[in-house]
Structure 1
Amino acid sequence: MLWIDSHPDVQTPKEYKNAHAHVLGELMGNGDSDFTRTVKHPVSPQKIMIAGIHDPLPYEANFISEHKIQTCSPEQVRSGAQPVLDWIKNEKIEYLAIHIDLDVLDPHNFRSVLFAKPGRGQHDFGDVAEGKLNIPDVVKLANQAASISKAVGLTIAEHLPWDALNLKNMLEELPLIGK
């Protein structure tokens, strides 16, 4: 599984209440028992590569280290993603699921992510890492990986279209359209 994200999403409810930060850990069998018991075949840490990650929180860094999960920084992604390509070859990844968490994208260049929320304060999201990649970086990475391993799944998460939401709310308030 190629997990393209600024964060590893391995926290548990104990560390962070919002479940979007738990998903990869739960797919590995670690986390909330209501979810993990439904995972019939937990993903082995050796079969996971997190690309785009940087500045993990202490719990996340420990989890990655303890489970020996491979990672590839944004700088490495931009300079050819060799750690990802090596991981695919070394682990003999024949079939690849690709997960793209849109918060891997720089919020100054892609504004439909949490970190681009209009009116947000500098520390509103706990100072977690913000995306550093751009759309061409992510597209190139996914295509590179798919060129040497058969892509069999693609997920995209955390799309927050602020402008569309604001327009919807505005339209609801206007005469002849709203209430």
Structure 2
Amino acid sequence: MKRHLNLFFPQWQGGGQDRSTYDGALELKELYFKEIKFSEVEVSTKDIRKSDNIIIGYTEIFKQLGRAKESIVQEQPETIFTIGGGCDADVASIAYLNDKMQGDMTVVWFDAHGDINTHETSASKCFYGMPLRTLLGEGEETIVKLASPSLLSSQLIMLGIRDLEEAEKEYITAQSISVFTVKDIEQGADSVIEAVKTKGHESIYIHIDLDVLDFEEFPHVPVPAPAGLKVNTFKELLKKLDKEFKVVGLGLFEYQPSGGQTIELVEDIIKIGVNL
């Protein structure tokens, strides 16, 4: 029987003092995980201090990522569904599966933002803007070491990005990272499927920051960006990815409380995640 891990990791400090993704994660647990077994990573709920390491909340983030890594290594799963929390809560899961797959894995990253700064290029110094660059082996050295072995830029496809800092644009161009804009996807999601096939890897990891979506259709995110993916377009593409490829990991992030109402899209994502 395949070893699968549902990892509940409500890390919020990557967004600075904003705890809305922690509250959102708790709502996800309450609404959708009553009958689903999961492993939970303990996170601090104390106010975060000014950073002594150029990353806001570094002490808590480093400690919590270490706990997540330990939890995953102890379980030795073949597949992981990670529920956050902020996008940076996905670092340990992706790093573990990249190691397990010996780099034979494409990371499909749905996000309105780049998440590809370092602590030196980031204007905000918030770690939720750094997880991808960390996974690519650049950034604050102790966290980069924790997230090793690093991804190659050729393993990455970025979907729906539209709110980038200049340093991120320059890095993405310099590294020739595969990018699909919202317009690209809306005009034909099959082009994404073909791009993943072209990568030629045995498996894929799907990272979902819900702010990739059209804010008017899905407003439950802390850092919205205009002109996002239509919910139906996203749902169809997610189903195709799940059908066409061996999905070894799925991450769900940046959810804000909806007021206690269940949402069909979230149910669909969770159904795929728990059944990897």
Distance (whole Å) between structure 1 residues aligned to residue 226 and residue 207 of structure 2: 17
Distance (whole Å) between structure 1 residues aligned to residue 108 and residue 162 of structure 2: 15
Q: Residues 134-173 of structure 1 correspond to what in structure 2 (within 5 A)?
A: 134-161=230-257, 163=259
1:65 to 151, 156, 173: 173
Query: TM (normalized to structure 1)?
Result: 0.77
Unpaired runs of 5+ in structure 2? 1-106, 261-276
| Equivalent AA in structure 2 for residue 70 of structure 1 | S
Runs (4+) off by over 4 Å: none
1:13 to 114, 119, 127: 119
| Equivalent AA in structure 1 for residue 150 of structure 2 | P
Query: TM (normalized to structure 2)?
Result: 0.51
Q: Which residue of 2 aligns with 1:43?
A: 151
Q: Which residue of 2 aligns with 1:110?
A: 218
Pair 1:10–1:115, CA change in 2 (3 A): closer
Pair 1:161–1:131, CA change in 2 (3 A): farther
| Equivalent AA in structure 1 for residue 175 of structure 2 | H
Q: Which has the larger radius of gyration?
A: 1
What's the % identity of the aligned pairs? 27
1:37-90 residue CA offsets vs partner (Å, 9 max, x unmatched): 112221111110001112522111111111111011111112222442232122
1:106-156 residue CA offsets vs partner (Å, 9 max, x unmatched): 22221211146xxxxxxxxxxxx4451132222212222233221111001
Question: Paired residues, what number?
Answer: 152
The CA RMSD over aligned residues, in Å, is: 1.8
* Partners of 1:27 and 1:43 within 8 A in 2: yes
Pair 1:107–1:85, CA change in 2 (3 A): same
1:132 to 205, 228, 231: 228
* Partners of 1:113 and 1:159 within 8 A in 2: yes
Does residue 3 (structure 1) correspond to residue 3 (structure 2)? The answer is no
Pair 1:108–1:147, CA change in 2 (3 A): same
Pair 1:161–1:64, CA change in 2 (3 A): same
Q: Which residue of 1 aligns with 2:44?
A: none
Does residue 91 (structure 1) correspond to residue 199 (structure 2)? The answer is yes
- After the TM superposition, which of the residue ranges 102-111 and 150-159 deviates more from structure 2? 102-111
Distance (whole Å) between structure 1 residues aligned to residue 186 and residue 227 of structure 2: 13
Distance (whole Å) between structure 2 residues aligned to residue 142 and residue 45 of structure 1: 22
| Equivalent AA in structure 2 for residue 90 of structure 1 | T
* Partners of 2:114 and 2:163 within 8 A in 1: no
Deviation at 1:91, TM superposition (A): 1.3
